């Protein structure tokens, strides 16, 4: 259950984003996208009731294994690409791809979650707002040049690199230096002898093409996700069987029925969890604008 305070929505002027998030979760049915069963509200909050995905975040699994074998990374990144492609067909740009927003289902398949930063972008139009996660920001986002669906293509390349190598390609502790590297540096790969990490030529070529600095030159800029999935990196992967979930994952979350070990244990073990108290001034803000939430 996702609890959303109405005063925060009003303060951040994020009503349109919240409505889009609801539209995506409530109306899109896709094997690799989290869906929502119910929406309800009370005087102070809106509640989204979504599928429970026992495997938790891809992030937690990546921390555990450090990096994935190439065949498993291929199996996973293809699902994420297919999910993004489905959104793009509906003129939705996701804008927040990262390991924390990809969930592992108990069957070993993945689901894209959290659409709080998603936006609608019509064909040949650009979005202008600045958003995303530092390590995953695309050059055009940093430069304020406007962005379209290819911003998701960039993050797809970052995610694949991180799954194979263990860290994002331009990561630096100094954020200003990292932003410089994102805009100017070429992608480099670990030395297979020295670092014991091997990234195949096909994987490198795909990553390099996804991480083209110019959004116009990125793989998939004209042909979409279908163009990406035609890259030689995916030659030995049956995409149709993947969509039908007929392939056997190499990596499975180690969970028993009802187990919660892939979730924040502070939340799982704290029986005293309570909704935060909304101050009177903020309650007045909600009351003044309660008409905005009618029929939400």
Cβ neighbours, 10 Å, residue 128? 9
Catalytic residue flag (residue 96): yes
Cβ neighbours, 10 Å, residue 10? 17
- Cα four-point dihedral sign 30, 34, 40, 43: negative
7, 13, 37, 96: which is the annotated catalytic residue? 96
Q: Within 13 A of 235's CA, how many CA atoms are on the CB side?
A: 5
CA dist 128 → 26, 69, 146, 245 (Å): 26, 37, 5, 37
What is the biggest distance separating any 2 CA atoms in the chain, rounded to whole angstroms?
65
Place of tokens 């990553």: 207
Nearest-angstrom CA–CA distance, 167 and 157: 12
Nearest-angstrom CA–CA distance, 282 and 296: 20
Contact call for residues 139 and 184 (beta carbons, < 8 A)? no
Active site residues: 96
């Amino acid at each position: 259950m996702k609890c959303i305070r109405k005063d925060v929505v009003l303060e951040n002027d994020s009503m349109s984003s919240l409505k889009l998030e609801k539209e995506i979760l409530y109306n899109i049915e896709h094997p690799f996208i989290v869906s929502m069963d119910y929406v309800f509200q009370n005087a102070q909050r809106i509640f989204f009731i979504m599928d429970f995905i026992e495997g938790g975040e891809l992030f937690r699994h990546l921390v555990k294994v450090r990096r994935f074998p190439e065949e498993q990374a291929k199996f996973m990144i293809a699902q994420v690409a297919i999910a993004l492609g489905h959104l793009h067909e509906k003129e939705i740009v996701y804008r927040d791809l990262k390991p924390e927003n990809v969930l592992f289902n108990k069957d070993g398949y993945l689901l894209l979650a959290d659409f709080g930063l998603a936006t609608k972008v019509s064909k040949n139009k650009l979005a202008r707002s600045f958003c995303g996660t530092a390590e995953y920001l695309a050059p055009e986002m940093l430069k304020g040049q406007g962005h379209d669906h290819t911003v998701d293509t960039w993050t797809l390349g970052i995610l694949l690199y991180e799954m194979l190598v263990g860290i994002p390609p331009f990561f630096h502790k100094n954020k200003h230096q990292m932003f410089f590297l994102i805009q100017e540096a070429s992608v480099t790969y670990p030395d297979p002898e020295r670092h014991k990490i091997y990234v195949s030529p096909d994987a490198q070529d795909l990553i390099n093409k996804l991480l083209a600095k110019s959004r116009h030159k990125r793989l998939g800029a004209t042909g979409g996700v279908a163009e990406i999935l035609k890259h030689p990196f995916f030659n030995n992967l049956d995409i149709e069987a993947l969509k039908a979930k007929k392939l056997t994952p190499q990596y499975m979350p180690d969970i028993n029925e009802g187990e919660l070990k892939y979730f924040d244990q502070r939340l799982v073990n704290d029986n005293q969890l309570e909704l935060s108290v909304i101050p009177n001034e903020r309650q007045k803000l909600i009351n003044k604008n309660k008409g905005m939430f009618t029929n939400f």
